Amino acid sequence: MLQYHTNYEHLCFQERWTITKDIALLLGESIGIIHSITNTPILPEYRRKLLAVALIKGAQATTAIEGNTLTYEEIENIQSGGEVPPSKEYQKQEVRNVITALNTVLRQLVFDKHIEYITPNLLKRFHEMIGRNIGMAFDATPGSFRKRNVIVGNYRPPSSESVPKLIDKLCVWIKKEFQFGESQKIEDAIIQAIVTHLYIAWIHPFSDGNGRTARLVEFFILMRAGIPDIASHILSNHYNETRTMYYRQIEHATQTQDLTKFIFYALQGFRDGLVAVLEQIQESQLVVSWKSHIFDVFKNLKKNKQDLSSMNKRRRELILSLPMDTYFDPSVSTFPNKEIENLYRKVSGRTFLRDIEFLRKLKLLSFEKGKGYRPYFETLKSHMALSIEHDEQLNG
């Protein structure tokens, strides 16, 4: 006979978690990476791309956990005006609702600077946004607490009659516990986001859409604390990619009334996601620096009277057109891409080979036996290392 969890001791509205050494380390690392992301210059165009990716990934992840099967590529296509089969129209609406909700929160917090406490009305407003126009696929009244009792797996959430009181208690408790509005530290906001997410899942205030609402509230708290918007998808993405562990950790916290392991699990994914975002930013910086370096090299050729005008312009276009992370072998395939093929349409194949050798001598291309040629962007890293070494010698 199936046994249901009907003991609600886990809903104690008390600090039942421990900031262990491992959790403190993850928080410290996360905050350090957040500062690096915040203080690293990003080209506006690239930042817009990163934010678009973050919002699509966040929407795909939070809806996928609830059974939505649309892929990242399909959602990207939808955002560009693409359609889906009629059978997936409701899934399209689910994703659109989440993206609209994420954008609404970003606009409110980042652009309008409108800061709010977590309140019952805020939860209802978020729920209405994620449940809008889905029809029968959404088994709840958008924006309204449930009026019936429900069962989730082997967990029976509190009765519908107790939901308003429990949500009121949650909102009062997290305001006092995490001291929002009283110089809240970013580490406290991160813990608040994770804890609030879990409590909403436990109380289960709506008939449907509780997970999406809980993760939207989590997103809201992180954005309110100043987490970079381009990292907004990280926790939802982590929960989706480790979905089995996500449910196991919720179950463990429910049974033990201890949130420590869930917080540690969430923070691991949060830290790793921040690392990935920072690496993307550093990669974009490398691309910008690489292009600037190429122009500097050819500018110096002109100063040294080695410039042959159209010839070096072609060579510069060649190195700018080469993918930074791909090898090419002229003995196997003459041109790496169509852009370069068009560039050399009116000259001989020997000219292409001579230009490659010229770029190699300028240390703009490297060659590796068995792989071929590749842009030698490592020269930027070596210059950086030499610069650091030089500074240390001067300061020594």
Annotated binding-site ranges: 208-215, 246-247
Whether 127 is catalytic is no
**Taking each helix axis from N to C terminus, what angle separates 260-303 and 310-321, rounded to the nearest 10 degrees?**
170
Cross-strand pairs, 387: none
CA geometry: angle at 179 spanning 176 and 183, to 5°?
165
338 class by beta-carbon count within 10 Å (0-12 exposed, 13-18 middle, 19+ buried):
exposed
Nearest-CA neighbor of 194 among 255, 130, 238?
238
Selected catalytic residue, list 127, 197, 204, 238: 204
**Residues making up the binding site for ATP:** 208-215, 246-247
Catalytic residue annotation: 204
